[in-house]
Amino acid sequence: MTRRPTVLITGATSGIGQGCAERFARGGYNLVITGRRQQLLDQIADELRQTGADVQTLCFDVRDREASRRVVASIRQELLPIDVLINNAGLALGLEPEYEGNCEDWDTMIETNIKGLLTMTRLIVPKMVERGEGHVINIGSVAGDAAYAGGNVYCATKAAVKALSDGLRIDVAHTAVRVTNVKPGLVETNFSRVRFHGDNDRADHVYQGIKPLTGADIGDVAFYAASAPKHVQIAEVLVLATHQASGSVIHRD
């Protein structure tokens, strides 16, 4: 009997993470999904199991390195090895000028977007290298290519994701482990609501006048990268809404 591969997705309770989980489940993967809200994880896991997937939920914050180690060690044996790691957990907070930024927001973004990604990479990738195969998909952003007004620290964290993806790709070039950096543009998720600390009116304004991408769109891209022939490495993908030209140039009706 052919083994179903396993994908581990961080931040899978909404948006891009949930879109990736749904696409990989439909594509024949078993899943380990993580997030900070157990109730949502359980709800999503029940939906994913309807595809025939085996699903394990891990409730923790990627900023907590010890918790990360503990829960990764609890992954059920039948779901191992992890074939694909999707480092998706991330967020933006605030849109103030750098000289007026909130230091706590900075810490949260850096600890989640950079250090959380590094922690999960450190915990999962050694076994991939040992086996000589696997795939790491980091969810970056168009914001990592060029800063935009008010994006300062968030843009810096996503520039770091690009550099870390490139560096890991170099580090594993002697193996068949593949590394992909997916860089979405405007995606309608909870992203803006989190950025504006729950201000729904301000968040909704971000998507006015344009048809944005969805979490499912990015899930399709991630699945395509994972499904490419073994000799093909989709190193980087920039995905924008049709009327978005860059991180700061958007045509709105």
Residue positions annotated with a catalytic role: 154
In angstroms, the Cα distances linking 80 to 76, 203, 209, 249 are 7, 39, 45, 43
The Cα-based distances of 173 to 146, 169, 197 in angstroms read: 27, 6, 41
Q: Which two tokens stand for residue 62?
A: 């990627």
220 vs 252: CA distance, rounded Å = 25
77 burial type by CB count under 10 A (0-12 exposed, 13-18 middle, 19+ buried): exposed
Nearest Cα neighbor of 67 from 112, 114, 119, 118 is: 119
Alpha helix stretches (DSSP H) within the chain: 15-26, 38-49, 65-72, 103-109, 117-131, 152-171, 191-195, 200-205, 215-227
CB neighbours of residue 100 within 10 Å: 8
